Structure 1
Amino acid sequence: MSRKCEVSPMERACEQVCGADEDEAGGANGRAMLWSIQEALERQTLQIGTSACGATAVVDALKALGVDVAPEEADRCVQTRLRRIESPLPDYLLSRSEAGATHAQLIAGAVEASKGKVTGRFFHLHPRRQVNLVPWLARWLRKGAVPVATMNMQLAVPEGDEVPDAWHHQLIFGVAPNAVFMTNPLDVVSEEEVHQRLCSESALLVRREDVLQRLTPESCLSSFIESQTDPRWKALDVEGQVKQMVREEEQEQEGPVLTHIRIPAAYSSGVTLFALQQSHLGQELINAPELPPSAVTGPTHTDF
């Protein structure tokens, strides 16, 4: 496929959300871009390894700040964790809860890989915060900060699509009214959709087949859960969820069954902003206050 064909859907999307008048590209309409779509197509780093979306985002964040780092070095510094797919169910579930990287690993990895040239600051977006996402991102982008989103991709799933199997880190290379532009994959997503994924409890859905195929008579979930210091394993009743799946199998239940179990996740949803350490922006980032909690009561985007 030619490069022109690859980029044209993004170009069409940009025209739709940004409008054709480039004189309105900043200020009032909230548009801000680190890279043009063509530059993003040429400069983005595609996924560098299994569960390595975080390290991939770090590579591009450093690149956007003028610091070139080899992908394998970024991955080493981020210390990407892998799923232990051959493990029995208890250890497999533990590995799933930690697979990939947290925002803290991304920041530490960026600092180490850049030899201290780059700093990062994470902003929690769950529970829901008082923030208009695109204008907030646009302000930081115009100052030169580089955002990386940590999102629960199992939220805001289009009707008819399969529920994704993981969370995801993506570099944000630009925003426009009701639109967020990201790499790995190169995509434009509505502000509402991104905000839903950025406002999530730290939990992960694990598919039914991935649970049942690892369940053996020797799998002792009770002992495993008792040994965990994280109380969420008990609070989510992970053992009870697995037992329900087993009952459904034994009874050959017809109709709706559990398609997933819900387990604790190591990740927090939100945005990490990166900047050069020895810069006014770097100091501004470090000193910036947390986003205030939303005063709006009612449901948040935490349903799976």
Structure 2
Amino acid sequence: MESVCERVCGADDEEEPGAGGAMLWSIQEALERQTLQIGASACGATAVVDVLKALGLDVAPEEVNRCISTRLRRNESPLPDYLLSRSEAGATHAQLIAGAEEASKGKVIGRFFHLHPSRQVKLVPWLAHWIQKGAVPVATMNMQRTVPEGEEVPDAWHHQLIFGVAANAVFMTNPVDVVSEGEMHQRLCSESVLLIRREDVLLRLAPDSCLSVLSESQSDPRWKALDVEGQVRQMAQDEEHDEERPLLTHITIPAAYSSGITLFALQQSGVELLNAPDLPQL
């Protein structure tokens, strides 16, 4: 299997100079300048640290994380509260925009573009257009999509700064990686749902777990629509009866995140960005 390093280093020769692309940093600059994950569930704050850096502002990672108010998983909570914490752990695009504005003292603005439901857009040219105008993109992606057969399903969504694009290639930080345009489209076009691993459910499932709150006490009706309570009960029955049918490997819960691209720019040059129309649906 090709490693991330091999993909990126190969792209350095083959993709980076391609016509129609745009780069905030070269691949070597990205390897040297990127900020690695600054804390648990803090991929959004990490991306914003590099957004500010790319826009010429130096703000301490701790200050950025404070401004974004990264939410953490409540790993020691009973199952219903744990699942609720999982649905919102990390940050949404709205938190990234507000946090970037606060951390930059109003010098940076952001604008989110939904990519679900499917949009009428050619992703690489669209990103190149905005990068050339001085914008810095951050992708909010469902990493649980496009998982190759046989590989483990990732445990979360992910925010990553996009430092450049070229023909059929999108370059990102944390970690430095290159992804095809098609794969990016799939990650960026997802319902707001999250898969929770079987072991994470059963570890916290107790005889006195009040599962009904998953349907009755949540302000988000998607918990009931997805029948999260029923999914948990089925998973528990699979465990107890050891039936021959395939065991549920995950349950599906609502997620606070929306898949798409946030574009950041300096306030004095961001009028066009703020006035740009939403991407049209297919």
Structure 2 length-normalised TM? 0.96
Is 2:245 aligned against 1:290?
no
Find the aligned partners of 2:99 and 2:153 in 1 and give their Cα distance: 29
Q: How does 1:123-162 map onto structure 2 within 5 Å? A: 123-162=113-152
CA distance in 2 between partners of 1:200 and 1:48 (Å): 26
* Equivalent residue for 1:110, pick from 73, 81, 100: 100
Deviations 1:218-260 (A, max 9, x none): 2112134211111100100101101111111111123411100
Does structure 2 retain, via aligned residues, the 8 Å contact 1:103–1:267? yes
> Aligned partners of 1:43 and 1:97: how far apart in 2?
31
8 Å Cα contact 2:7/2:178 also seen in 1: no
Runs of 5+ in structure 2 lacking a partner?
A: none
Residue in 2 that maps onto 1:299 = none
Give the corresponding residue for 1:203.
193
1:188 maps to 178
- 1:8 positional shift: 6.3
C-alpha distance in 2 between matches for 1:9 and 1:291:
30
Q: Please state whether the residue corresponding to 1:162 is helix, strand or coil.
A: coil
Query: Residues 160, 39 of structure 1: CA spacing in aligned structure 2 closer, same or farther, 3 A cutoff?
Result: same
C-alpha distance in 2, partners of 1:264/1:204?
6
How far apart in 1 are the matches of 2:198 and 2:183? Answer: 26
% identity of equivalent residues? 77
- 1:221 corresponds to 2:211: yes
User: Where do 5+ consecutive residues of structure 1 fail to align?
Assistant: 1-5, 295-304
Residues 149 and 270 in structure 1, CA contact (< 8 A), matched pair in contact too: yes
Partner of 1:11: 9
Residues in 1 aligned to 2:5 and 2:181: alpha-carbon distance in whole angstroms = 21
Where 2:15 maps in the other structure, the secondary structure is helix
Secondary structure of 2:113 counterpart: strand
Mark the CA change 1:257 to 1:224 in structure 2 (over 3 Å): closer, same or farther: closer
The answer to whether the 8 Å contact 1:77/1:109 transfers is yes
Question: Which consecutive segments of 4 or more residues in structure 1 shift more than 4 A?
Answer: 6-9
Contact 2:24 2:54 in 1 (8 A): yes
Q: Specify the alignment match of 1:70 in structure 2.
A: 60
Q: Which residue of 247, 251, 254 maps to 1:261?
A: 251
CA contact (8 A) 1:172 1:181 kept: yes
After TM superposition, the score normalised by the length of structure 1 is: 0.89
Report how far residue 212 of structure 1 moved.
Answer: 0.7
Across the aligned residues of Structure 1 and Structure 2, the Cα RMSD in angstroms comes to 1.3
SS of equivalent residue, structure 1 residue 170: strand
In the TM superposition, residue 160 of structure 1 has moved relative to its aligned partner by 1.6
Measure the CA separation in 2 of the matches of 1:158 and 1:189.
14
**Match of 1:291, as an amino acid?**
L
